[in-house]
Structure 1
Amino acid sequence: MTGGPELCEENELRSLFLFEKLGSDQLARLCREGRVYRFDTGTVYREGDPAACLFVLLEGTVILSRQVGGQEIDVNRSSARGVYAGAFQAYLGDQVPQVYNNSMRITEPSRFFVLPADTFAEIMLEWFPMAVHLLEGLFFGAKNTQEAIGQRERLLALGSLTAGLTHELNNPAAAAARAASALRERVAGMHRWLGEIAADPHHRANLDALTELHESAAERLAQLAELSPLQAADQEDAVLDWLDEHDVADGWQLAPVFVQAGLDADWLDRAAQALPAEFLGPALRWLDSTVETELLMNEIEDSTGRVSALVTAAKQYAQLDRAPHRRADVHELLDSTLVMLSRKIGPSIRVVKDYDRTLPPIPCYPGELNQVWTNLIDNAVSALGGSAADGTLTVRTARDGDRVLVEIGDTGPGIPRDIRDRVFDPFFTTKPVGEGTGLGLDISWRIVVNRHRGDLRVESVPGDTRFQVRLPLTEPDSDIEPDAHREQT
């Protein structure tokens, strides 16, 4: 370490991906309780030492390494601002040994935001109680399973899966937290509008009609068919025109919610016939709050359902003989994964589905295949530069002899030939520290090859990278060797 602590700037913390969603009060607390330090070239901490701090890189380069078979193996290197390492399990307290699980060294003078482990634990428990509960349950569930398994290879597989799932859980947990926050606001708005309606004796007489409209809207929402972006835009224009014609204020805010819930201009015509003209505006604004409440609850249900599916996949992977096995439509599995990752994919990435709908259901472990699709799609989005970047994500299915081919492609820069034969190796990743575990493709390979007797390979040139999964159409007759060759092209 060089010199004393430097001034902590809230704006500098806000510029990091780890803290960009935090509020001013939260950033102020981080600056009060954390410090900014400069470190000289060398080792910052060693694997096995007491985990005293969480380190967030502000500028410089970090290398993480682990002891494997008596040798120090570099597992990650990054110069990306905001990558973090250190006491990231501090929220578990004395339930686990609080030691660093890797060593960190720097190759040039570097600046870090350093947060004491006990402060990090307090912040996690206070700010993210749902995420901590889920991570805690996953951590100790995996630990108990490891103790029950005697074979070393299965212990290593479970550890790999647990680390990957810990990373994957962040997306649905964050989505559920965002939806819950928005839900609180919409419920407050719903109460406010209902209070205004109930306070007016003329409006109060129409509450029965309003209740019937709400029930009708809920039925439409339950039977909602998915719209293409073009269809949704056309319907929003039509609904906005209708609202303007009927002098309903803030129509630009109401139209997207109504269309998302399947409430078109025809439905609004029926609503107008059931309500007096002077009551129409307040009624529709109340309905907007109730409808969006339903949509947000659906989003929370979907997000927590994804968390549950990921935890179930971990249990299935650890207890192979108990995993549910059935015939499943691979397109349903792909579609459900695309839906759950829709926020991460973002609106700027074009998704192309090239499905062969004549393919029959295949014998498989559906929950585990969903984990494979999640890893491959997540990697494709990262290769395209994230949700804010342009590009095309292609999901294709086809028959390939006696197998089903599932291909996840992207138009990113491609995988350099000199690292292509390492992409399926455990802990190998090109992502910055904290953004990738290097386990996603290793886990996917194990699921496809060892569990499904299939094949996973990659073909890549600049502008066209394709991960290809081939799965048997029928039950395999025999087992394969657990370390079968991993193919790249």
Structure 2
Amino acid sequence: MSDQETERLDREQLRTLFLFEKLTDDQLDWLAEQGRVQWREAETCIFAEGEPATCFYVLLDGTVMQSGRVRGEEVEVIRTSQRGVYGGAIRAYMPDDPDQLYANTLRAITDCRLFVLPAAVFATAMREWFPMAVHLLEGLFYGMRRTQTMLGERERLLALGALSAGLTHELNNPAAAAVRATSTLRGQVAGMRHKLAMIADGRLDGTRLHHLVELQDEAVKRAASAPTLSALETSDAEETLADWLDEHDFVDGWRLAPTLVGAGIDTDWLDQVALAVGKENLDPAVRWLTYSVETEQLMGEIDDAVGRISGLVGAAKQYTQLDRAPYQTVDVHDLLTATLTIMKAKIPAGVRREKYYDPNLPAIPAYAAELNQVWTNLIDNALGAMGETGTLSVRTGREGDMVVVEIGDTGPGIAPEIRDRIFEPFFTTKPVGEGTGLGLDISYRIVVTKHRGDIRVSSTPGDTRFRVYLPITPPPVVLADAEPAVGA
């Protein structure tokens, strides 16, 4: 039959649809009179997003697909063949929104048969037959929308504030270290200039001065490759070196010994210095060499501090994805590492971290910044469950055509009676004022709705694991946050 040919349903046929099964005979007769049956051929549009919402549709036979548009791209939300699901002008009865538009697009995947009511007819039936329900639905719809918007914004602001505070704390440590090292370096360079003037005032001939410069280069190389000593070994080495300096009439040799030992310098090497410059120039020569070593160590500290700052800034850019396309091919390990770096300050000292990354894990197409939000929510919940002590584990692997990311903790676990509710909006086990109940709901939407993946949880006391499954190959269309599903 063509799209234009129509038929009617009688009272008993309408009663077989779950949406109408509790209506009275008179109500069913009225709907049967007002409604029509329409056929739509496969791959045709039933209604399009943005057009005036003129009809309410109920699926009788066939398969339909609901989609929305994100930045000009059509995004599939749901595909179903369940008899009785509905869509279209589902809020036509809202008195404050008379000129409604279709919020999404509905397409026939196969040949479809639908029961169609004009929007005005559907609105009249709702308002006259269920006036109290209309008031309740109106309040629920607008109230929930306002509440979810406000709490969602607050949830993001609180998370951003906590992460900003943590990042500031992490940046402050290397920045302060660089400032301290720079200040000390200035004094050491001044000391080097003074000692060099004493050495080079004519008391050393050219050969000895050249040999001393060679020893300086060797001292710097020793410092760069100095072995790490235990506390006992360090103490013994410093004592031996201090005794050597005392024997050679150094007034405060104990002050020089720690620096020289840290640079891997021993008494044999100092004997070479004495031989090179002579006893009368030994004190200023050793102090000059000590300044050289300290200068190299301080420059190493500055380099390390600046490297840490650069690493944190890089982690922040990786976490926020500010300079990158929203949808891209990403390495999950990079995202996890960036999130852990950003959250480092929030992890208590008593919580041990374990990482088990699969080295053969492939890159996947994903919304990177939003996946970082998922990791943040799951890690934050794990830390909240454990308190000050425990083990936070992050694992990755592959199962078939899915990448699996597992966030585990050793907290008390999730009680079986609430396990099925943890992904519900606004459901939280945290005390009043400490949680909005949106973290896992947002994570679920990002993973399941947007990436067509899955989140699973297993929990026993001392072992709770959230497993996130993400497809390795991109879905046919990129998924976006969904409107309520057809017939939801």
So what's the TM-score if we normalise by structure 2?
0.50
Based on CA coordinates, which of the two structures has the bigger radius of gyration?
2
What's the TM-score once normalised by structure 1's chain length?
0.50
